[in-house]
Amino acid sequence: MKFFVDTAEIDAIAELNDLGMVDGVTTNPSLIKKSGRDIIEVTKEICDLVDGPVSAEVTATDADTMIAEGRKLLEIADNIAVKVPLTWDGLKACKTLSDGGAMVNVTLCFSANQALLAAKAGATFISPFIGRLDDINLDGMDLIEDIRTIYDNYGFNTQILAASIRSVNHILDSARIGADVITAPPGVIKNMINHPLTDKGLDAFLKDIAAADIKIL
C-alpha cells in the first residue's frame, strides 16, 4: 500500500519522507491557504521534496477552465497529478488531461457508480471519502470494497486512493480491503505506531536495564 500525506506543511512532509513513509502528497487550496503562502510556490516545494505524485487541485468548476488550470499546474513539475472534482465537467477535464499523458486524481467520490465513471474517463486515482460517509451514518469502507470489486472485475488501472481518513482503523481497513493508496494527515499516520502494550513492554525493559546497570556505549 502507498502512503500519501494529506497536508501542505513542508516540515511534516519532510519528517515522514525521511522515514520512507511518503509515496506521494495530496493538497488542496484550503490546505495551502492555511500556510499563508502562494499555491504555486508551495506546490513546487513539495514536488521538489518528494518523488511520488503530488495532487494539486484546480479551482474552476467548468471543464475548459479546469483543463487550462490543470495544464498550468502540470508546468510546476513532472510529478504533478491534477485533482478534479467528480462532476461531468470534472470527468471531461479528466479525459482530456489523461489523454494528454497527465496523472489525474478525481476527488469527492461518494459512490461506486461515480468511481466507475472516473475509471472510464481515464483517472489515475479515484478518491473515495471515507470519513465524510461515516459522518452521515454510512460505512465508508463499504464504498472502498465495492470499488475494489468493480475495478478488479474489469481490470481498470485506476488506483483507489482512500481519502478523508480520520483514524488508524480507516488505514487498517483500507489495507485489508486492498485500496492501492491511502492519504491521511501526518498525525494519523504517526499514530499508527502507538500501542499500549508496546509502551508497557518498553517501560519494563528500561526498568530492567536500569536495575542491571547495563550499558552498551
Which residues have a catalytic role annotated?
Answer: 83
Contacts of 49 (CB under 8 A, 6+ apart): 10, 13, 14, 17
Q: Classify 182 in phi/psi space as left (phi over 0), alpha (psi -120 to 50) or beta.
A: beta
Contacts of 104 (CB under 8 A, 6+ apart): 70, 81, 82, 83, 84, 93, 94, 97, 98, 122, 123, 124, 125
CB 121 within 8 A of CB 94: yes
Local structure of residue 182 (DSSP, 8 states): E
Local structure of residue 87 (DSSP, 8 states): S
Contacts of 119 (CB under 8 A, 6+ apart): 126, 151, 156, 157, 158
Residue 201 exposed, middle or buried by CB count within 10 Å (0-12, 13-18, 19+)? exposed
CB 76 within 8 A of CB 44: yes
In whole angstroms, what is the distance from residue 160 CA to residue 34 CA? 27
